[in-house]
Chain A
Amino acid sequence: MLNGFVLILNFYLSFSILIFTFSIIHKKMLNPQTIKQDFPIFTHQKELVYLDSAATALKPQTVIDAEKKYLEQYSSNVGRGLYPLAETATEKFEAVREKIARFIGAADTQEIIFTSGTTASINLAAGLLAESVHPADNIVVTEMEHHSNYLPWKELAKKCGASFHVIPITGEGAIDIATLKNSIDERTKIAAFSAVSNVLGTINPVEKFVAAIKGINPQTLVLVDAAQAAPHMRIDVSLWRADFVAFSGHKMFGPTGVGVLYGKAALLETFPPIVFGGGMVFDACAEDTRYREIPYRFEAGTPNIGGVIALGAALDYIENIGFTNIRAYETALTAYAQKRLQETFDDAIRIIGPKDTKDRGGIIAFSLKNIHPHDIAQLLGEQNICVRAGEHCAAPLHRRFGLSATTRLSLSIYNSEEDIEKLITALKEIQKIFSVA
Protein backbone atom coordinates (compact mmCIF):
# COMPACT_ATOMS: atom_id res chain seq x y z
CA MET A 1 0.00 0.00 0.00
CA LEU A 2 2.75 2.40 1.06
CA ASN A 3 4.87 1.18 -1.85
CA GLY A 4 2.06 1.91 -4.20
CA PHE A 5 1.70 5.38 -2.76
CA VAL A 6 5.44 6.09 -3.13
CA LEU A 7 5.28 4.81 -6.67
CA ILE A 8 2.39 7.12 -7.51
CA LEU A 9 4.13 10.00 -5.74
CA ASN A 10 7.32 9.28 -7.66
CA PHE A 11 5.45 9.10 -10.88
CA TYR A 12 3.64 12.31 -10.08
CA LEU A 13 6.88 14.08 -9.15
CA SER A 14 8.77 13.01 -12.26
CA PHE A 15 5.81 13.98 -14.36
CA SER A 16 5.70 17.45 -12.75
CA ILE A 17 9.43 17.89 -13.25
CA LEU A 18 9.02 16.85 -16.85
CA ILE A 19 6.23 19.37 -17.40
CA PHE A 20 8.21 22.04 -15.55
CA THR A 21 11.35 21.39 -17.61
CA PHE A 22 9.31 21.34 -20.77
CA SER A 23 7.72 24.66 -19.90
CA ILE A 24 11.14 26.21 -19.20
CA ILE A 25 12.50 24.93 -22.48
CA HIS A 26 9.36 26.03 -24.20
CA LYS A 27 9.64 29.49 -22.69
CA LYS A 28 13.28 29.80 -23.64
CA MET A 29 12.99 28.49 -27.13
CA LEU A 30 10.63 30.78 -28.90
CA ASN A 31 9.68 28.97 -32.07
CA PRO A 32 9.13 31.30 -35.04
CA GLN A 33 7.19 28.62 -36.90
CA THR A 34 4.65 28.44 -34.07
CA ILE A 35 4.60 32.23 -33.82
CA LYS A 36 4.01 32.49 -37.57
CA GLN A 37 0.76 30.59 -37.15
CA ASP A 38 -0.55 33.46 -35.04
CA PHE A 39 -0.18 35.85 -37.98
CA PRO A 40 -2.73 35.19 -40.73
CA ILE A 41 -0.74 37.15 -43.32
CA PHE A 42 1.56 34.16 -43.65
CA THR A 43 -1.31 31.99 -44.89
CA HIS A 44 -2.23 34.63 -47.47
CA GLN A 45 1.35 35.35 -48.54
CA LYS A 46 2.97 31.94 -48.76
CA GLU A 47 6.59 32.87 -49.38
CA LEU A 48 6.60 36.10 -47.43
CA VAL A 49 9.88 37.11 -45.84
CA TYR A 50 8.93 40.15 -43.84
CA LEU A 51 11.97 42.07 -42.65
CA ASP A 52 10.38 45.46 -42.18
CA SER A 53 8.93 45.33 -38.69
CA ALA A 54 10.58 48.62 -37.74
CA ALA A 55 8.24 50.23 -40.28
CA THR A 56 5.24 48.34 -39.00
CA ALA A 57 4.80 44.97 -37.35
CA LEU A 58 2.49 42.30 -38.71
CA LYS A 59 -0.77 41.69 -36.85
CA PRO A 60 -1.66 38.53 -34.96
CA GLN A 61 -5.16 37.05 -35.32
CA THR A 62 -6.10 38.03 -31.76
CA VAL A 63 -5.53 41.71 -32.59
CA ILE A 64 -7.55 41.49 -35.78
CA ASP A 65 -10.33 39.67 -33.91
CA ALA A 66 -10.43 42.28 -31.15
CA GLU A 67 -10.92 45.14 -33.59
CA LYS A 68 -13.40 43.14 -35.65
CA LYS A 69 -15.38 42.27 -32.55
CA TYR A 70 -15.69 45.91 -31.58
CA LEU A 71 -16.79 46.86 -35.08
CA GLU A 72 -19.24 43.99 -35.37
CA GLN A 73 -20.60 43.53 -31.90
CA TYR A 74 -20.47 46.68 -29.81
CA SER A 75 -19.54 49.53 -32.12
CA SER A 76 -20.48 52.74 -30.32
CA ASN A 77 -18.80 55.85 -29.02
CA VAL A 78 -16.96 56.08 -25.72
CA GLY A 79 -17.39 58.36 -22.75
CA ARG A 80 -20.88 59.62 -23.40
CA GLY A 81 -23.53 57.03 -24.13
CA LEU A 82 -25.59 55.62 -21.28
CA TYR A 83 -26.79 52.54 -23.10
CA PRO A 84 -25.13 49.17 -22.59
CA LEU A 85 -23.28 49.14 -25.90
CA ALA A 86 -21.56 52.44 -25.20
CA GLU A 87 -20.85 51.34 -21.67
CA THR A 88 -19.18 48.17 -22.93
CA ALA A 89 -17.11 50.13 -25.45
CA THR A 90 -16.08 52.67 -22.81
CA GLU A 91 -15.18 49.95 -20.34
CA LYS A 92 -13.04 48.06 -22.82
CA PHE A 93 -11.44 51.27 -24.08
CA GLU A 94 -10.54 52.46 -20.58
CA ALA A 95 -9.34 48.99 -19.63
CA VAL A 96 -6.67 49.36 -22.30
CA ARG A 97 -5.57 52.64 -20.76
CA GLU A 98 -5.08 50.78 -17.48
CA LYS A 99 -3.33 47.95 -19.26
CA ILE A 100 -0.90 50.37 -20.92
CA ALA A 101 -0.22 52.13 -17.62
CA ARG A 102 0.71 48.78 -16.08
CA PHE A 103 2.63 47.72 -19.18
CA ILE A 104 4.98 50.71 -19.03
CA GLY A 105 5.12 51.10 -15.26
CA ALA A 106 3.15 54.35 -15.10
CA ALA A 107 1.93 55.41 -11.68
CA ASP A 108 -1.52 56.40 -12.90
CA THR A 109 -3.86 55.81 -15.84
CA GLN A 110 -4.20 59.60 -16.07
CA GLU A 111 -0.69 59.65 -17.47
CA ILE A 112 -1.70 57.77 -20.62
CA ILE A 113 -2.90 59.96 -23.49
CA PHE A 114 -4.14 58.19 -26.60
CA THR A 115 -2.93 59.64 -29.88
CA SER A 116 -2.78 58.45 -33.47
CA GLY A 117 0.87 57.37 -33.17
CA THR A 118 4.36 58.38 -32.10
CA THR A 119 4.46 61.32 -34.50
CA ALA A 120 1.23 62.71 -33.11
CA SER A 121 2.44 62.03 -29.56
CA ILE A 122 5.66 64.00 -30.02
CA ASN A 123 3.86 66.82 -31.81
CA LEU A 124 1.36 66.94 -28.96
CA ALA A 125 4.17 67.17 -26.41
CA ALA A 126 5.82 69.92 -28.47
CA GLY A 127 2.49 71.73 -28.63
CA LEU A 128 1.97 71.48 -24.88
CA LEU A 129 5.44 72.90 -24.30
CA ALA A 130 5.11 75.74 -26.81
CA GLU A 131 4.31 78.32 -24.13
CA SER A 132 7.21 77.26 -21.93
CA VAL A 133 10.03 77.84 -24.41
CA HIS A 134 11.57 81.30 -24.52
CA PRO A 135 14.13 82.95 -26.80
CA ALA A 136 17.17 82.35 -24.57
CA ASP A 137 16.30 78.67 -24.13
CA ASN A 138 17.60 75.76 -26.09
CA ILE A 139 16.18 72.44 -27.22
CA VAL A 140 18.47 69.45 -27.57
CA VAL A 141 18.01 66.35 -29.74
CA THR A 142 20.45 63.77 -31.11
CA GLU A 143 21.80 63.09 -34.56
CA MET A 144 20.18 59.65 -34.64
CA GLU A 145 16.60 60.88 -34.34
CA HIS A 146 13.81 59.92 -36.67
CA HIS A 147 12.37 63.05 -38.32
CA SER A 148 9.41 62.66 -35.95
CA ASN A 149 11.61 63.40 -32.97
CA TYR A 150 13.63 66.03 -34.78
CA LEU A 151 11.39 68.29 -36.82
CA PRO A 152 8.74 69.06 -34.14
CA TRP A 153 11.56 70.32 -31.88
CA LYS A 154 13.37 72.15 -34.63
CA GLU A 155 10.14 73.92 -35.56
CA LEU A 156 9.29 74.66 -31.94
CA ALA A 157 12.73 76.21 -31.38
CA LYS A 158 12.31 78.29 -34.52
CA LYS A 159 8.84 79.44 -33.49
CA CYS A 160 9.99 80.42 -30.00
CA GLY A 161 13.28 81.93 -31.11
CA ALA A 162 15.13 79.35 -29.04
CA SER A 163 18.27 77.58 -30.21
CA PHE A 164 18.27 74.02 -31.48
CA HIS A 165 21.17 71.77 -30.71
CA VAL A 166 21.90 68.37 -32.25
CA ILE A 167 24.12 66.02 -30.24
CA PRO A 168 26.58 64.30 -32.58
CA ILE A 169 26.90 60.52 -32.45
CA THR A 170 30.02 58.37 -32.45
CA GLY A 171 31.33 56.42 -35.43
CA GLU A 172 29.65 53.31 -34.09
CA GLY A 173 26.37 55.14 -33.87
CA ALA A 174 26.17 55.67 -30.13
CA ILE A 175 25.73 58.73 -27.96
CA ASP A 176 28.69 59.46 -25.78
CA ILE A 177 27.44 60.39 -22.33
CA ALA A 178 30.12 63.09 -21.92
CA THR A 179 28.98 64.71 -25.18
CA LEU A 180 25.39 64.46 -23.98
CA LYS A 181 26.28 66.14 -20.69
CA ASN A 182 28.17 68.89 -22.50
CA SER A 183 25.08 69.66 -24.54
CA ILE A 184 22.88 70.34 -21.54
CA ASP A 185 23.01 73.67 -19.74
CA GLU A 186 20.85 75.81 -17.48
CA ARG A 187 18.84 77.03 -20.47
CA THR A 188 18.02 73.59 -21.85
CA LYS A 189 14.25 73.46 -21.78
CA ILE A 190 13.74 70.19 -23.59
CA ALA A 191 15.91 67.19 -24.39
CA ALA A 192 14.52 64.56 -26.73
CA PHE A 193 16.11 61.28 -27.76
CA SER A 194 15.10 57.83 -28.88
CA ALA A 195 15.31 54.68 -26.80
CA VAL A 196 16.28 52.65 -29.87
CA SER A 197 17.46 54.12 -33.18
CA ASN A 198 15.29 53.19 -36.16
CA VAL A 199 18.33 52.94 -38.44
CA LEU A 200 21.32 51.97 -36.33
CA GLY A 201 19.38 49.83 -33.91
CA THR A 202 21.41 51.44 -31.11
CA ILE A 203 19.85 50.89 -27.70
CA ASN A 204 20.35 53.98 -25.62
CA PRO A 205 20.66 53.63 -21.84
CA VAL A 206 17.56 55.73 -21.22
CA GLU A 207 17.67 55.68 -17.44
CA LYS A 208 21.31 56.80 -17.42
CA PHE A 209 20.71 59.52 -20.00
CA VAL A 210 17.70 60.95 -18.18
CA ALA A 211 19.64 60.96 -14.90
CA ALA A 212 22.61 62.68 -16.58
CA ILE A 213 20.37 65.36 -18.11
CA LYS A 214 18.44 65.96 -14.91
CA GLY A 215 21.70 65.93 -12.96
CA ILE A 216 22.84 68.98 -14.88
CA ASN A 217 19.50 70.70 -15.17
CA PRO A 218 16.61 69.28 -13.12
CA GLN A 219 14.25 71.64 -14.97
CA THR A 220 14.98 70.16 -18.38
CA LEU A 221 12.00 68.21 -19.63
CA VAL A 222 12.94 64.93 -21.27
CA LEU A 223 10.99 63.15 -23.99
CA VAL A 224 11.87 59.63 -25.02
CA ASP A 225 10.82 58.34 -28.42
CA ALA A 226 10.20 54.70 -27.60
CA ALA A 227 8.66 53.69 -30.93
CA GLN A 228 11.40 51.16 -31.71
CA ALA A 229 11.77 49.97 -28.13
CA ALA A 230 8.16 49.31 -27.19
CA PRO A 231 7.72 46.11 -29.25
CA HIS A 232 11.01 44.55 -28.20
CA MET A 233 11.92 45.39 -24.63
CA ARG A 234 10.27 46.39 -21.40
CA ILE A 235 9.62 50.10 -21.03
CA ASP A 236 9.56 51.13 -17.40
CA VAL A 237 8.76 54.82 -17.02
CA SER A 238 9.21 54.54 -13.26
CA LEU A 239 12.88 53.68 -13.87
CA TRP A 240 13.38 55.89 -16.90
CA ARG A 241 12.03 58.96 -15.11
CA ALA A 242 11.47 60.79 -18.40
CA ASP A 243 8.75 63.43 -18.44
CA PHE A 244 7.27 62.17 -21.68
CA VAL A 245 7.44 58.86 -23.49
CA ALA A 246 5.95 58.34 -26.95
CA PHE A 247 5.24 55.14 -28.86
CA SER A 248 3.00 53.65 -31.55
CA GLY A 249 0.62 50.73 -31.42
CA HIS A 250 1.25 49.48 -34.95
CA LYS A 251 4.90 48.70 -34.35
CA MET A 252 3.92 46.47 -31.42
CA PHE A 253 1.50 44.23 -33.36
CA GLY A 254 -1.42 46.62 -32.94
CA PRO A 255 -3.33 48.44 -35.65
CA THR A 256 -2.19 51.66 -37.31
CA GLY A 257 -3.61 54.94 -36.09
CA VAL A 258 -3.11 54.37 -32.38
CA GLY A 259 -0.32 55.63 -30.22
CA VAL A 260 0.44 56.78 -26.73
CA LEU A 261 1.92 59.82 -25.11
CA TYR A 262 2.88 59.13 -21.53
CA GLY A 263 3.36 62.25 -19.42
CA LYS A 264 3.98 62.65 -15.71
CA ALA A 265 0.63 63.53 -14.11
CA ALA A 266 1.94 66.51 -12.15
CA LEU A 267 3.36 67.94 -15.35
CA LEU A 268 0.29 67.25 -17.49
CA GLU A 269 -1.85 69.05 -14.89
CA THR A 270 -0.01 72.27 -15.70
CA PHE A 271 -0.98 72.32 -19.38
CA PRO A 272 -4.19 73.65 -20.85
CA PRO A 273 -5.54 71.73 -23.85
CA ILE A 274 -4.30 72.67 -27.31
CA VAL A 275 -6.82 70.81 -29.45
CA PHE A 276 -10.45 71.69 -28.84
CA GLY A 277 -13.69 69.91 -29.45
CA GLY A 278 -15.89 67.21 -28.04
CA GLY A 279 -15.03 64.98 -25.11
CA MET A 280 -12.50 67.31 -23.50
CA VAL A 281 -14.78 69.86 -21.88
CA PHE A 282 -17.17 69.90 -18.87
CA ASP A 283 -18.96 73.09 -19.69
CA ALA A 284 -18.57 75.28 -22.73
CA CYS A 285 -20.74 78.26 -21.87
CA ALA A 286 -19.73 81.58 -23.33
CA GLU A 287 -17.86 83.10 -20.40
CA ASP A 288 -16.55 80.13 -18.59
CA THR A 289 -15.14 77.05 -20.35
CA ARG A 290 -14.24 74.31 -17.93
CA TYR A 291 -11.96 71.71 -19.43
CA ARG A 292 -11.94 68.14 -18.31
CA GLU A 293 -9.29 66.47 -16.18
CA ILE A 294 -6.16 64.89 -17.62
CA PRO A 295 -5.75 62.91 -19.84
CA TYR A 296 -9.18 63.60 -21.41
CA ARG A 297 -8.58 67.28 -22.00
CA PHE A 298 -5.86 66.26 -24.44
CA GLU A 299 -8.08 63.82 -26.33
CA ALA A 300 -10.57 65.98 -28.18
CA GLY A 301 -12.84 64.19 -30.63
CA THR A 302 -13.74 60.55 -31.04
CA PRO A 303 -10.64 58.40 -30.58
CA ASN A 304 -9.70 55.31 -32.59
CA ILE A 305 -11.79 53.09 -30.32
CA GLY A 306 -11.41 49.82 -32.21
CA GLY A 307 -7.72 50.53 -32.61
CA VAL A 308 -7.20 51.10 -28.90
CA ILE A 309 -9.11 47.94 -28.01
CA ALA A 310 -7.03 45.98 -30.51
CA LEU A 311 -3.87 47.49 -29.06
CA GLY A 312 -4.96 45.97 -25.76
CA ALA A 313 -5.00 42.57 -27.48
CA ALA A 314 -1.52 43.30 -28.86
CA LEU A 315 -0.21 43.98 -25.36
CA ASP A 316 -1.73 40.69 -24.19
CA TYR A 317 -0.01 38.97 -27.06
CA ILE A 318 3.36 40.43 -26.07
CA GLU A 319 2.86 39.70 -22.37
CA ASN A 320 1.96 36.14 -23.18
CA ILE A 321 5.29 35.56 -24.89
CA GLY A 322 7.19 37.79 -22.48
CA PHE A 323 9.85 40.39 -23.13
CA THR A 324 12.61 38.15 -21.80
CA ASN A 325 11.84 35.60 -24.49
CA ILE A 326 11.31 38.21 -27.19
CA ARG A 327 14.56 40.01 -26.46
CA ALA A 328 16.58 36.80 -26.14
CA TYR A 329 15.23 35.44 -29.40
CA GLU A 330 15.64 38.67 -31.34
CA THR A 331 19.16 39.24 -30.04
CA ALA A 332 20.23 35.78 -31.14
CA LEU A 333 18.65 36.25 -34.56
CA THR A 334 20.21 39.70 -34.99
CA ALA A 335 23.64 38.29 -34.12
CA TYR A 336 23.07 35.53 -36.67
CA ALA A 337 22.07 38.03 -39.36
CA GLN A 338 25.03 40.32 -38.61
CA LYS A 339 27.46 37.42 -38.75
CA ARG A 340 26.02 35.88 -41.92
CA LEU A 341 25.87 39.18 -43.79
CA GLN A 342 29.40 40.08 -42.78
CA GLU A 343 30.95 36.73 -43.64
CA THR A 344 29.08 36.40 -46.94
CA PHE A 345 29.69 39.88 -48.31
CA ASP A 346 32.91 40.68 -46.48
CA ASP A 347 34.38 43.94 -47.80
CA ALA A 348 31.42 44.61 -50.06
CA ILE A 349 29.04 45.25 -47.16
CA ARG A 350 29.04 48.10 -44.72
CA ILE A 351 26.78 47.65 -41.71
CA ILE A 352 26.30 50.81 -39.70
CA GLY A 353 25.61 50.91 -35.98
CA PRO A 354 26.92 49.08 -32.92
CA LYS A 355 29.10 46.03 -33.56
CA ASP A 356 28.06 44.32 -30.34
CA THR A 357 24.59 42.81 -30.67
CA LYS A 358 23.79 43.43 -27.03
CA ASP A 359 23.91 47.16 -27.79
CA ARG A 360 21.43 46.97 -30.63
CA GLY A 361 17.86 46.00 -31.32
CA GLY A 362 16.88 43.85 -34.28
CA ILE A 363 17.64 46.52 -36.86
CA ILE A 364 20.45 46.24 -39.40
CA ALA A 365 21.04 49.01 -41.94
CA PHE A 366 23.69 48.37 -44.55
CA SER A 367 25.06 49.42 -47.89
CA LEU A 368 26.27 46.98 -50.50
CA LYS A 369 29.13 48.15 -52.69
CA ASN A 370 28.09 49.73 -56.01
CA ILE A 371 24.42 48.79 -55.69
CA HIS A 372 21.85 51.41 -54.86
CA PRO A 373 19.61 50.49 -51.91
CA HIS A 374 16.50 51.10 -54.01
CA ASP A 375 17.65 48.56 -56.55
CA ILE A 376 18.32 46.08 -53.75
CA ALA A 377 14.93 46.63 -52.14
CA GLN A 378 13.09 46.47 -55.45
CA LEU A 379 14.75 43.23 -56.50
CA LEU A 380 14.19 41.71 -53.06
CA GLY A 381 10.58 42.83 -53.31
CA GLU A 382 10.20 40.91 -56.54
CA GLN A 383 10.84 37.80 -54.42
CA ASN A 384 8.47 38.93 -51.67
CA ILE A 385 11.37 39.75 -49.36
CA CYS A 386 10.37 42.99 -47.68
CA VAL A 387 13.04 45.43 -46.56
CA ARG A 388 13.20 49.20 -46.48
CA ALA A 389 15.50 51.33 -48.61
CA GLY A 390 16.18 55.01 -48.29
CA GLU A 391 17.08 57.23 -45.43
CA HIS A 392 14.35 55.86 -43.15
CA CYS A 393 13.19 59.33 -42.12
CA ALA A 394 16.62 60.00 -40.65
CA ALA A 395 18.38 62.33 -43.08
CA PRO A 396 20.77 63.88 -40.52
CA LEU A 397 21.95 60.41 -39.54
CA HIS A 398 22.67 59.35 -43.11
CA ARG A 399 24.58 62.55 -43.76
CA ARG A 400 26.65 61.81 -40.67
CA PHE A 401 27.78 58.55 -42.26
CA GLY A 402 28.20 60.06 -45.73
CA LEU A 403 25.45 57.86 -47.12
CA SER A 404 22.52 58.97 -49.23
CA ALA A 405 20.56 55.85 -48.40
CA THR A 406 20.82 52.40 -46.85
CA THR A 407 18.96 49.12 -47.02
CA ARG A 408 17.44 48.18 -43.70
CA LEU A 409 16.20 44.89 -42.38
CA SER A 410 14.35 44.80 -39.10
CA LEU A 411 13.43 41.69 -37.22
CA SER A 412 10.61 40.44 -35.11
CA ILE A 413 9.56 37.24 -33.41
CA TYR A 414 8.07 35.73 -36.57
CA ASN A 415 11.42 35.88 -38.37
CA SER A 416 13.76 32.93 -38.51
CA GLU A 417 17.27 32.03 -39.62
CA GLU A 418 15.63 30.70 -42.76
CA ASP A 419 14.45 34.24 -43.57
CA ILE A 420 18.01 35.51 -43.20
CA GLU A 421 19.29 32.76 -45.49
CA LYS A 422 16.67 33.62 -48.12
CA LEU A 423 17.75 37.24 -47.89
CA ILE A 424 21.40 36.33 -48.31
CA THR A 425 20.73 34.08 -51.30
CA ALA A 426 18.73 36.87 -52.93
CA LEU A 427 21.41 39.46 -52.18
CA LYS A 428 24.03 37.23 -53.80
CA GLU A 429 21.88 37.02 -56.93
CA ILE A 430 21.49 40.80 -56.93
CA GLN A 431 25.25 41.19 -56.69
CA LYS A 432 25.53 38.96 -59.75
CA ILE A 433 22.96 40.99 -61.68
CA PHE A 434 24.83 44.19 -61.06
CA SER A 435 28.35 42.87 -61.42
CA VAL A 436 30.06 44.43 -64.41
CA ALA A 437 30.94 41.61 -66.77
Chain B
Amino acid sequence: MSLYQNLILDHYRNPRNHGVLKKATHHGEADNPICGDTLQMDIIVKNDIIEDVKFSGSGCAISQASASLFTEAVKKKSIRKALVLEPKDVLTLLGITLSPNRLKCGLLSLETLHLTLNQELGIKNQDNKP
Protein backbone atom coordinates (compact mmCIF):
# COMPACT_ATOMS: atom_id res chain seq x y z
CA MET B 1 0.00 0.00 0.00
CA SER B 2 1.29 3.43 -0.88
CA LEU B 3 2.07 5.81 1.94
CA TYR B 4 0.43 8.50 -0.10
CA GLN B 5 -3.23 7.79 0.57
CA ASN B 6 -5.90 10.34 -0.26
CA LEU B 7 -6.15 11.47 3.34
CA ILE B 8 -2.46 12.31 3.48
CA LEU B 9 -2.40 13.97 0.08
CA ASP B 10 -5.49 15.99 0.98
CA HIS B 11 -3.92 17.25 4.20
CA TYR B 12 -0.65 17.93 2.44
CA ARG B 13 -2.29 19.94 -0.34
CA ASN B 14 -4.79 21.70 1.91
CA PRO B 15 -3.25 21.77 5.34
CA ARG B 16 -5.60 22.56 8.22
CA ASN B 17 -4.43 24.92 10.93
CA HIS B 18 -1.59 26.18 8.79
CA GLY B 19 -0.19 29.58 9.72
CA VAL B 20 0.82 31.52 12.81
CA LEU B 21 -1.05 32.81 15.85
CA LYS B 22 -0.07 36.31 16.78
CA LYS B 23 -1.55 35.94 20.25
CA ALA B 24 -0.01 32.56 20.94
CA THR B 25 0.70 31.80 24.56
CA HIS B 26 3.10 29.07 23.57
CA HIS B 27 5.51 28.67 20.73
CA GLY B 28 7.80 25.78 19.94
CA GLU B 29 9.74 24.34 17.06
CA ALA B 30 11.49 21.15 16.16
CA ASP B 31 13.35 19.88 13.16
CA ASN B 32 14.47 16.71 11.58
CA PRO B 33 17.92 17.66 10.32
CA ILE B 34 18.48 14.39 8.49
CA CYS B 35 15.51 15.10 6.21
CA GLY B 36 15.48 18.86 6.45
CA ASP B 37 11.92 18.95 7.83
CA THR B 38 11.10 21.87 10.12
CA LEU B 39 7.98 22.56 12.12
CA GLN B 40 6.90 25.56 14.19
CA MET B 41 3.82 25.50 16.40
CA ASP B 42 1.81 28.33 17.94
CA ILE B 43 -0.73 27.51 20.62
CA ILE B 44 -3.23 29.56 22.58
CA VAL B 45 -3.91 27.93 25.92
CA LYS B 46 -6.84 29.07 28.05
CA ASN B 47 -7.85 27.33 31.25
CA ASP B 48 -5.64 24.37 30.40
CA ILE B 49 -7.45 23.93 27.08
CA ILE B 50 -5.79 24.20 23.68
CA GLU B 51 -8.06 26.93 22.35
CA ASP B 52 -6.23 27.29 19.07
CA VAL B 53 -3.20 25.81 17.37
CA LYS B 54 -1.41 26.57 14.13
CA PHE B 55 1.70 25.19 12.50
CA SER B 56 4.11 26.31 9.85
CA GLY B 57 7.27 24.91 8.39
CA SER B 58 8.40 22.86 5.48
CA GLY B 59 9.15 19.28 4.77
CA CYS B 60 7.93 16.11 3.16
CA ALA B 61 4.28 15.30 2.66
CA ILE B 62 4.27 12.90 5.61
CA SER B 63 5.57 15.47 8.09
CA GLN B 64 3.27 18.23 6.88
CA ALA B 65 0.13 16.10 6.57
CA SER B 66 0.82 14.70 10.00
CA ALA B 67 1.01 18.21 11.44
CA SER B 68 -2.32 19.06 9.82
CA LEU B 69 -4.07 15.95 11.12
CA PHE B 70 -2.46 16.18 14.51
CA THR B 71 -3.32 19.83 15.14
CA GLU B 72 -6.93 19.00 14.24
CA ALA B 73 -6.89 16.23 16.79
CA VAL B 74 -5.52 18.26 19.69
CA LYS B 75 -7.52 21.43 19.16
CA LYS B 76 -9.98 22.05 22.02
CA LYS B 77 -8.42 19.23 24.01
CA SER B 78 -7.05 19.75 27.49
CA ILE B 79 -3.28 20.00 27.66
CA ARG B 80 -3.06 16.83 29.68
CA LYS B 81 -5.16 14.88 27.19
CA ALA B 82 -3.06 16.17 24.33
CA LEU B 83 0.20 15.31 26.00
CA VAL B 84 -0.70 11.69 26.70
CA LEU B 85 -1.01 11.06 22.97
CA GLU B 86 1.59 8.57 21.85
CA PRO B 87 3.30 7.79 18.55
CA LYS B 88 0.80 5.02 17.85
CA ASP B 89 -2.06 7.52 18.14
CA VAL B 90 -0.44 9.73 15.51
CA LEU B 91 0.02 6.76 13.21
CA THR B 92 -3.64 5.90 13.69
CA LEU B 93 -4.51 9.43 12.59
CA LEU B 94 -2.32 9.06 9.52
CA GLY B 95 -3.79 5.65 8.74
CA ILE B 96 -0.50 4.20 7.58
CA THR B 97 2.46 2.33 8.96
CA LEU B 98 5.79 4.02 8.61
CA SER B 99 9.18 2.41 8.16
CA PRO B 100 11.79 3.34 10.78
CA ASN B 101 13.33 5.77 8.27
CA ARG B 102 10.10 7.73 7.93
CA LEU B 103 8.86 7.52 11.51
CA LYS B 104 10.61 10.72 12.49
CA CYS B 105 8.77 12.58 9.70
CA GLY B 106 5.39 11.35 10.88
CA LEU B 107 6.08 12.07 14.54
CA LEU B 108 7.61 15.53 14.17
CA SER B 109 4.28 17.20 15.03
CA LEU B 110 3.95 15.18 18.24
CA GLU B 111 7.48 16.09 19.18
CA THR B 112 6.85 19.77 18.47
CA LEU B 113 3.72 19.75 20.59
CA HIS B 114 5.66 18.27 23.48
CA LEU B 115 8.40 20.85 23.13
CA THR B 116 5.80 23.61 23.00
CA LEU B 117 3.73 22.54 25.98
CA ASN B 118 6.13 20.81 28.30
CA GLN B 119 7.08 24.14 29.82
CA GLU B 120 3.43 24.60 30.76
CA LEU B 121 3.66 21.51 32.89
CA GLY B 122 6.94 22.57 34.39
CA ILE B 123 8.77 19.85 32.51
CA LYS B 124 12.12 20.88 31.24
CA ASN B 125 12.31 20.84 27.46
CA GLN B 126 14.17 17.83 26.30
CA ASP B 127 16.70 18.02 23.58
CA ASN B 128 14.81 17.41 20.38
CA LYS B 129 17.82 16.16 18.49
CA PRO B 130 17.83 12.46 17.74
Contact = CB atoms under 8 A, between A and B. Distances in A.
Contacts of A404: 35-36, 58
A390 B34 contact: yes
A405 interface: yes
A437 interface: yes
**Max chain B C-beta neighbours (<10 A), residue from A382, A398, A404, A405:** A404
Contacts, number: 43
B53 interface: no
B36 A433 contact: no
B105 interface: yes
A191 to B, nearest CB: 28
A379 B34 contact: no
A433 B4 contact: yes
B9 interface: yes
A185 interface: no
A382 B3 CA distance: 9
**Max chain A C-beta neighbours (<10 A), residue from B2, B35, B58, B62:** B35
Contact of B9 (A373, A390, A398, A433): A433
Given A372-B59, A375-B62, A436 B13 contact: yes
Interface in A417-437: 433-434, 436-437
A390 B13 contact: no
Nearest to A430: B4
A404 B31 CA distance: 12
Contact of A382 (B2, B12, B34, B62): B2
The bracket for how many chain A residues form the interface is 10 to 19
Contacts of B46: none
Interface string B45-64: 00000000000001111100
A373 B105 CA distance: 13
Nearest to A435: B13
A437 B35 contact: no
B61 A372 contact: yes
Given A372-B60, A433-B9, A437-B13, A379 B2 contact: yes
A374 B105 contact: yes
Contacts of A391: 34, 36
Contacts of A436: 13
Interface string A367-410: 00000111100110010000000110000001000001100000
A374 B98 CA distance: 13
Contacts of B4: 375, 378-379, 433
A379 B61 CA distance: 11
Given A382-B2, A390-B34, A433-B4, A375 B13 contact: no
Nearest to B34: A390
B80 interface: no
A372 B61 CA distance: 7
A404 B34 CA distance: 9
24 contacts: A372-B37, A372-B59, A372-B60, A372-B61, A374-B60, A374-B62, A374-B105, A375-B4, A375-B61, A378-B60, A378-B102, A379-B3, A382-B2, A382-B3, A404-B35, A404-B58, A405-B35, A405-B36, A433-B4, A433-B9, A434-B9, A434-B12, A434-B61, A437-B13
Given A372-B59, A373-B60, 19 more contacts: A372-B35, A372-B37, A372-B60, A374-B35, A375-B4, A375-B61, A375-B62, A378-B3, A378-B60, A378-B102, A382-B2, A390-B36, A391-B36, A398-B36, A404-B35, A404-B36, A405-B35, A433-B9, A434-B13
Interface of B: 2-4, 9, 12-13, 34-37, 58-62, 102, 105
